[in-house]
């Protein structure tokens, strides 16, 4: 058991070193980096498509996609005219900072204002791995059930922003939005809580304004 713990500590230490290197590079470039985490099917790529449509005329956007297999999500974003690089983990349930660093070396993205990192679909494994991002975002769709924050507290406690997706389906589910809001507030009193629907457009403007404000703050008020 001691050897297992020591090996995990070494892995996390190596990841932290790579993450700090990335964070310094992103800071020097003035690039806002957003790490999106959720269960499979919660709507990460769909939210990024809506974000791209809303922001691409004013900002330089790019995306790193993490999946076990296929480039389908990266292809969806490329179709909207932004550069996207796919990381295929081959079974691993999360991205790590060294993978992100390698992806950036291969992708040779132009200067970006906002870099989205869409993590592998999982509410547990990605939580512990710093990717050099400015903040984590956790997504929860109304079709998943309203018990998830307390069942998976670590990510809801660490994510600076919690985004409820597919809110257009609220009338057709038993999802208790206020109960989820209270759970998230208990776990992360300072976190932002947004309710969105990429299909109807509800909440997308609020989400985009949050990104713009965070970018301006990172650049010292210069958007």
Given this model, what pLDDT does residue 2 score? 59
Looking at the domain assignment, is residue 12 inside a domain?
no
Domain count, the chain: 1
Give me the residues of the chain with pLDDT under 70, please: 1-5, 221-223
Tell whether 99 is covered by a domain: yes
pLDDT value of residue 161: 98
The answer to whether position 89 is within a domain reads: yes
Instruction: Return d(Cα 178, Cα 74) in angstroms, integer.
Output: 34
Q: Determine the pLDDT at residue 45.
A: 98
pLDDT given for residue 10 in this prediction = 83
- Domain containing 137 — which CATH number? 3.40.50.300
What pLDDT does 3 receive? 62
Residue 2 lies in a domain: no
Map residue 196 onto helix, strand or coil.
coil
pLDDT value for 5: 63
Domain region containing 137: 22-218
Q: Is residue 8 part of a domain?
A: no
Cα 5 to Cα 108: distance, rounded to the nearest angstrom: 36
């Amino acid at each position: 058991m001691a050897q297992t713990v020591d090996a995990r500590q070494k892995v996390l230490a190596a990841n932290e070193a790579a993450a700090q290197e990335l964070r310094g590079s992103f800071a020097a470039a003035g690039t806002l980096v957003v790490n999106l985490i959720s269960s499979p099917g919660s709507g990460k790529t769909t939210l990024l498509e809506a974000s791209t449509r809303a922001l691409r005329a004013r900002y330089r956007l790019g995306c790193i996609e993490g999946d076990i297999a296929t480039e389908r999500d990266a292809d969806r974003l490329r179709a909207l005219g932004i550069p996207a690089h796919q990381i295929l983990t081959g079974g691993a349930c999360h991205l790590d900072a060294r993978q992100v660093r390698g992806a950036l070396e291969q992708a040779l993205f132009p200067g970006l204002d906002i870099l989205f990192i869409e993590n592998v679909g999982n509410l547990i494994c990605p939580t512990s791995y710093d990717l050099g991002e400015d903040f984590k975002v956790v997504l929860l769709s109304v079709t998943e059930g309203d018990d998830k924050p307390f069942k998976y507290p670590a990510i809801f406690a660490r994510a600076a922003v919690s985004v409820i997706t597919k809110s257009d389906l609220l009338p057709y589910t038993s999802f208790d939005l206020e109960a989820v809001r209270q759970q998230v507030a208990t776990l992360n009193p300072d976190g932002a809580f947004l309710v969105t629907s990429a299909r109807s457009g509800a909440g997308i403007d609020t989400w985009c304004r949050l990104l713009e404000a965070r970018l301006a703050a990172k650049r010292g008020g210069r958007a």
